C-alpha cells in the first residue's frame, strides 16, 4: 500500500520563496479572473482549477498505480478489497480534515461535486435527505468508521470470515468516499493547492480510480463528473466517437467479469 504523511507546517507558506510566490499568485490570478467575469455579468461557470496544467502533479505514474491495485496471486479477494478500502478511508479523511474549517453550512450549503452535481444523503432505511456538505461528510466518515470497526463486516481475528454481502458494503463505502473527493475538487481544491496538498488529492483520486477500473466498484454515472480529470491525469483515454473501438480498459475482461479468487486456506 502507498503511504504518505500529511504534515502541515505553516512556515513553508512564505512569500520569500520565489517558486511558491509565483504558484500562489497564479492561483489568485485565476480566482480574480473568474470573479471579474461575474462582476461584468458573464457566467463564470466552473473554472475547474484542478485541470490547470501547473496543478496536475501526482506522486506515482499510472503504471505503478495499476500494479498497486492488481490482486496478487493467492491473496483473498475480500482481504484485498478491505486493505484498499481502509487506505482510501484514511487518506480521504486526512485530506478533508485539512480543509474542514473552510467547509461550513454557510459556504457549502449543499453537498456538491464538479459540474453542479449535488449529492443527497440516504440513511440505512433508504430515507433521502438534503444536508449541507459538512454534515454529509460527517455522515460518511461516521458510517465508514463504524463499518470498518465492525468485526462482523471487517474481520481481523483469526477464523472470522467476511460476510457474503461484503463487496456490496465496499461498493457503498467507496461511492461515499468518491463523493467526498468530488466535493474537495469542486469546492476546496484552491485551499488544498495553497497548502501544497493537491498532489496528494490527485494521488488519492488516482488510487480510487484504479481500484474502480480493476474491480468495477462504481457506476459510470458516478465517476463521469471527474472524467475530464481522469483524462488530464492520463488515468484514462479521451472518449472516442460513436462506432469507435473500445479502449484497452473498457475491453478488459477483468473490468467486465467478476474476480474469482481462492482464500489462502484452500490455495
Is 103 within any annotated ligand binding site? yes
Question: Is residue 176 a contact partner of residue 140, using CB atoms and an 8 Å limit?
Answer: yes
Is 84 within any annotated ligand binding site? no
Is 91 within any annotated ligand binding site? no
Which DSSP helix (H) or strand (E) runs through 121? strand 121-122
166-187 helix and 198-215 helix, angle to the nearest 10 degrees:
150
Q: Of 74, 86, 114, 68, give the one whose Cα is nearest residue 215.
A: 68
Q: Of 231, 235, 225, 240, give the one whose Cα is nearest residue 204.
A: 235
Distance CA 238, CA 133 (A): 30
CA distances from 66 to 184, 188, 247, 248, 249 (A): 24, 27, 16, 13, 11
Is 183 within any annotated ligand binding site? yes
Annotated binding residues: 103, 108, 183, 188
Annotated binding residues for Zn(2+): 103, 108, 183, 188
Amino acid at each position: 500500500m502507498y503511504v504518505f504523511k500529511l504534515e502541515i507546517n505553516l512556515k513553508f507558506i512564505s512569500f520569500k520563496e520565489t517558486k511558491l510566490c509565483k504558484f500562489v499568485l497564479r492561483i489568485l490570478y485565476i480566482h480574480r479572473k473568474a470573479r471579474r467575469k461575474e462582476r461584468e455579468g458573464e457566467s463564470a461557470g466552473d473554472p475547474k482549477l484542478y485541470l490547470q496544467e501547473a496543478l496536475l502533479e501526482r506522486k506515482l505514474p499510472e503504471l505503478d498505480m495499476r500494479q498497486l491495485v492488481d490482486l496478487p496471486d493467492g491473496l483473498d479477494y475480500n482481504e484485498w478489497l478491505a486493505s484498499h478500502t481502509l487506505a482510501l478511508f484514511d487518506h480521504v479523511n486526512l485530506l478533508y480534515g485539512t480543509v474542514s474549517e473552510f467547509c461550513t453550512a454557510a459556504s457549502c450549503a449543499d453537498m456538491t461535486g464538479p459540474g453542479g452535481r449535488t449529492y443527497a444523503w440516504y440513511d440505512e432505511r433508504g430515507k433521502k435527505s438534503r444536508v449541507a456538505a459538512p454534515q454529509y461528510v460527517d455522515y460518511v466518515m461516521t458510517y465508514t468508521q463504524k463499518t470498518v470497526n465492525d468485526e462482523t463486516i471487517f474481520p481481523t481475528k483469526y477464523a472470522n470470515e467476511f460476510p457474503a454481502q461484503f463487496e456490496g458494503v465496499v461498493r457503498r463505502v467507496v461511492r461515499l468516499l468518491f463523493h467526498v473527493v468530488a466535493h474537495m475538487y469542486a469546492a476546496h481544491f484552491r485551499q488544498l493547492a495553497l497548502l501544497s496538498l493537491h498532489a496528494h488529492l490527485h494521488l488519492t483520486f488516482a488510487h480510487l480510480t484504479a481500484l474502480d477500473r480493476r474491480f468495477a466498484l462504481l457506476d459510470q454515472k458516478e465517476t463521469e463528473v471527474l472524467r475530464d480529470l481522469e483524462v488530464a491525469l492520463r488515468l484514462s483515454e479521451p472518449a472516442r466517437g460513436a462506432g469507435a473501438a473500445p479502449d484497452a480498459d473498457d475491453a478488459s475482461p477483468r473490468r467486465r467479469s467478476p474476480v474469482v479468487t481462492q482464500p489462502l486456506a484452500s490455495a
